[in-house]
């Protein structure tokens, strides 16, 4: 690991601003304050010109810790319940198809985007994959980047507000009956980091989050470890997660932001409405809490939605499984569309 002075300054600035934002959010009673407050503060500071960044090792460590926090809540009953998730998987896939059809159509008509830019801007997730495709497809990369970043940030901020309006009370931090003993925590963390690093070499999406959850879940079910993350550790990981969301806007030109702002807010509104309809429908059919379904179906950042699931005491395995399924669906649909579009482009 190597830090140059500039990198250290940017990391320190991001964490300090994120911590201050979380503190303000707690004082005013904003839902899920450690996440939302830190994200808002770093976003505002970044737009105002602060150069902020989170070093990859710190980012990955936060993802692993959030994964461990989710995995530590898994019980053997989860595996029996998983057999019933096929219906919600199908509904989630259907909602993604609707988003990928409707949003580009409207962006082309009302914002005059070209088809590739409109489609990639509308993709409900898989951000790094989408940005990679944008850079090699002739799409308007700044527009795609800003619209996608707005979607991730706004869903992280809006979902807790909706959940609160529904009558739920998100905890400021995940609650645990007892913290994992230090030796068990260090062992779980070490194995999770190694496994995550290996999985990331094979390009597993959200490798650090999912491997952290997997290792912690196996440890809990087998009895190797017991208990959850200490609240202070959870707090630090969630603050870093909020800072990560905010640093997406660091270095973004104000002109690019303003140009894509209305489109980003529009796309976020549309996907949120589709998500809400799907969550309400499945809640009516299955009896599952609307809040849990909103978090599982919402196409926000996987790690951010995982942190929200912890603070809402939602079923972590259910939420993680549905976000992993969303990435699988997008990994199939998006390349197929890109290939089909490239094949018919000469005759357009």
8 Å CB contact between 67 and 209: yes
Residues in the chain: 348
Residue found by looking up tokens 């690019």 in the block: 256
8 Å CB contact between 298 and 155: yes
72-94 CB burial, b ≥16 within 10 A, e <16: bbbeeebeeeeeebeebeebbbe
Per-residue pLDDT of the chain (348 residues; tens, 9 = 90+): 555 777 788 898 999 999 999 999 999 989 889 999 999 999 999 999 998 889 999 999 999 999 999 898 887 777 778 888 999 999 999 999 999 999 999 999 999 999 999 999 999 988 888 988 888 888 999 999 999 999 999 999 999 899 888 877 666 566 566 889 999 999 999 999 999 999 999 888 889 999 999 999 999 989 999 888 888 999 999 999 999 999 999 888 888 898 899 999 999 999 999 999 999 999 999 999 999 999 999 999 888 898 888 877 788 889 989 998 999 999 999 999 988 887 665 444
Phi, psi of 21 (to 5 degrees): -65, -40
Q: Which two tokens stand for residue 250?
A: 């660091």
Query: Which structural domains are found in the chain, ordered by start?
Result: 5-347 (1.20.1530)
> What is the reported pLDDT for 281?
96
> What is the reported pLDDT for 348?
43
319-339 CB burial, b ≥16 within 10 A, e <16: bbbbbbbbbebbeeebeebbe
d(C-alpha 102, C-alpha 18), whole Å: 35
> What is the reported pLDDT for 173?
61
d(C-alpha 211, C-alpha 218), whole Å: 10
Q: Which two tokens stand for residue 316?
A: 């972590």
What whole-number percentage of the chain has pLDDT above 70?
95
User: pTM for the whole thing?
Assistant: 0.88
Q: Which two tokens stand for residue 140?
A: 């308007």
d(C-alpha 89, C-alpha 91), whole Å: 6
Phi, psi of 171 (to 5 degrees): -75, 150
Helix (H, G, I), strand (E, B) or coil at 232: helix
Q: Which two tokens stand for residue 17?
A: 């601003």
- Per-residue pLDDT of 277-335, as tens digits, reads 999 999 999 999 999 999 999 999 888 898 888 877 788 889 989 998 999 999 999 99
d(C-alpha 190, C-alpha 61), whole Å: 11
Neighbour tally for 274: CB within 10 Å: 20
DSSP letter at 347? Answer: G
Helix (H, G, I), strand (E, B) or coil at 140: coil
> What is the reported pLDDT for 3?
57
- Per-residue pLDDT of 205-223, as tens digits, reads 889 999 999 999 999 989 9
């Amino acid at each position: 690991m190597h830090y140059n002075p500039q990198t250290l300054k940017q990391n320190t600035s991001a964490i300090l601003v994120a911590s201050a934002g979380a503190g303000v959010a707690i004082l005013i009673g904003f839902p899920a304050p450690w996440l939302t407050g830190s994200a808002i503060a770093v976003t505002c500071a970044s737009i105002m010109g602060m150069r902020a960044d989170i070093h990859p090792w710190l980012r990955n460590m936060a993802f692993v810790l959030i994964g461990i926090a989710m995995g530590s809540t898994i019980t053997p009953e989860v595996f029996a319940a998983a057999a019933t998730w096929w219906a919600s998987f199908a509904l989630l896939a259907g909602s993604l198809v609707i988003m990928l059809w409707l949003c580009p159509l409207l962006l082309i008509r009302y914002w005059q985007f070209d088809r590739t830019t409109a489609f990639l801007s509308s993709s409900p997730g898989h951000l790094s994959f989408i940005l990679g495709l944008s850079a090699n497809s002739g799409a308007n990369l700044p527009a795609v980047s800003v619209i996608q970043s707005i979607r991730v940030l706004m869903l992280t901020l809006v979902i807790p507000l909706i959940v609160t309006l529904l009558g739920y009370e998100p905890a400021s931090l995940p609650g645990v009956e007892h913290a994992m003993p230090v030796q068990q925590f260090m062992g779980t963390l070490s194995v999770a980091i190694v496994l995550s690093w290996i999985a990331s070499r094979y390009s597993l999406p959200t490798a650090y989050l999912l491997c952290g959850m997997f290792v912690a879940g196996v440890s809990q079910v087998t009895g190797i470890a017991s208990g959850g993350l200490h609240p202070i550790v959870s707090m630090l990981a969630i603050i870093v997660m909020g800072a990560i969301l905010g640093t997406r806007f660091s270095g973004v030109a104000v002109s690019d932001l303003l140009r894509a702002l209305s489109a980003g807010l529009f796309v976020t509104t549309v996907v949120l409405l589709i998500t809400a309809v799907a969550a309400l429908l499945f809640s009516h059919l299955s009896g599952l809490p609307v809040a849990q379904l909103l978090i599982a179906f919402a196409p926000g950042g996987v790690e951010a939605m995982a942190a929200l699931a912890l603070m809402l005491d939602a079923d972590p395995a259910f939420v993680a499984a549905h976000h992993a399924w969303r990435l699988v669906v997008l990994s199939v649909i998006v390349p197929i569309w890109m290939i089909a579009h490239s094949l018919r482009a000469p005759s357009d």
